């Protein structure tokens, strides 16, 4: 199973952004152009091993947040790096959700968040859940009750 993303005529720009953002965790497998010097039409690629297919053709539906790509990242520094890059020309959302400049929705969730949301101490878990609901970017330290 692969995720298919229809980019409205800006697939090449999106792939360039993702390659820069994800570095060695981005792999371009194939790409095709109907005309040798024309626009990139399709590409098969992966991010963190998740297989995606992109199409770059105008007139497609707009992306919306009912589907998002979710990244479980390790630590605040990686959360900050991904969030800052995606929202730089995109948009912030709530609870770790954001949208890149191409309209693709992402969830940037540090793996440490689960330790707090699923804390066996119900008061600590409730605090973490309440704190998360008020966040845009997830800040791990702010999930810990004092």
For the entire predicted model, the pTM comes to 0.92
Distance between CA atoms of 105 and 87, rounded to whole angstroms?
10
Distance between CA atoms of 5 and 50, rounded to whole angstroms?
13
Whole-number average pLDDT of the chain = 96
67-114 pLDDT, tens digit per residue, is: 999 999 999 999 999 999 999 999 999 999 999 999 999 999 999 999
Q: Can you state the angle between helices 11-22 and 76-88, rounded to 10 degrees?
A: 160
- Residue that has been written with the tokens 């878990």 in this structure: 125
Which residues fall within 8 angstroms of residue 146, CB to CB, at 6 or more apart?
none
Q: Read off the pLDDT band of 26 (50, 70, 90).
A: very high
Distance between CA atoms of 12 and 55, rounded to whole angstroms?
9
């Amino acid at each position: 199973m692969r995720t298919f993303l229809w980019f409205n005529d800006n697939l090449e720009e999106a792939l360039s952004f993702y390659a820069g953002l994800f570095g060695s965790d981005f792999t371009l497998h194939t790409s095709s152009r109907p005309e040798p010097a024309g626009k990139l039409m399709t590409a098969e690629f992966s991010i963190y091993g998740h297989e995606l297919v992109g199409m770059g053709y105008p007139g497609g539906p707009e992306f919306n947040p009912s589907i998002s790509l979710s990244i479980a990242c390790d630590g605040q520094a990686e959360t900050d790096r991904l969030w800052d890059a995606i929202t730089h020309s995109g948009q912030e959302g709530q609870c770790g959700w954001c949208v890149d400049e191409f309209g693709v929705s992402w969830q940037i969730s540090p793996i440490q968040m689960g330790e707090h949301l699923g804390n066996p101490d119900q008061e600590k878990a409730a605090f973490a859940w309440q704190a998360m609901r008020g966040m845009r970017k997830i800040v791990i330290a702010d999930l810990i009750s004092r």
